[in-house]
Amino acid sequence: MRKNIVAGNWKMNTLLKEGMELATAVNSLAKNKTSNATVIIAPPFTHLAEIKKTLTDVKLAAQNCASEESGAFTGEVSVGMLKSLGAEYIIIGHSERRAYYHEDNAILAKKVNLCLAAGLKPIFCIGEVLPERNANKHFDVVKSQLSEGVFHLSPDAFENLVIAYEPVWAIGTGVTASPEQAQEMHKFIRSVIAEKYGSQLADSTTILYGGSCKGSNAKELFANPDVDGGLIGGASLKAEEFLQIVNAF
């Protein structure tokens, strides 16, 4: 049976003191959550070690990782370093990494491999930009991202992935895909996984929705049969609202 997950991506927000206060608040609220969802937070790299010390009911994720294992790569952070700080998940291929840092599917496949080799779980992000949706290419784009980014994996490796669908046109814009649009794409993603790996593995894969999900619309989005939770941006910076999303199942 697949997991329900709500993961908070803090992006480049909060100084350490603010991050510690937010993490403490989220962890405290998570102790009394009413859903069975796994709660994950992804603070900036600079906060990970200190925040890990405060967490009992929340899992820790990193927002990115290097595409190399180690070596002369100034400014990069390896999966081994992240694991040593207590991270269990790594967000890979977020639309902002794809757009601003030109990470393509080949680079992301390397990151996925390193993540899995270290025993960490990738949250692999896929999704289309507005011109691609308007041109009715959104299914092709998402299928290509899956095929080139993660379909090289064995079934045993693939079952450690979490997939996050991000309609890029809905990230930080206040525009949200309708519940029907979200379900349509999540169902399609599951069908593509089933074509590659079979229905049993597809049915057990957690697929998150990421795109202006907030306390006010989470329940409607999560009611869809193929939406297993959310990758939350701005709303994850408010502890009460984030836990409202966690409890939306």
Catalytic residue among 94, 96, 132, 138: 94
8 Å CB contact between 130 and 99: no
> Is-catalytic flag, 166?
yes
DSSP 8-state secondary structure symbol assigned to residue 167: -
Nearest to 113 by CA among 72, 69, 71: 69
> Is-catalytic flag, 94?
yes
Catalytic residue among 103, 128, 132, 166: 166
Residue 93 CA to residue 115 CA, distance in Å, equals 12
3-state class (DSSP) for residue 28: helix
| Residue positions annotated with a catalytic role | 94, 166
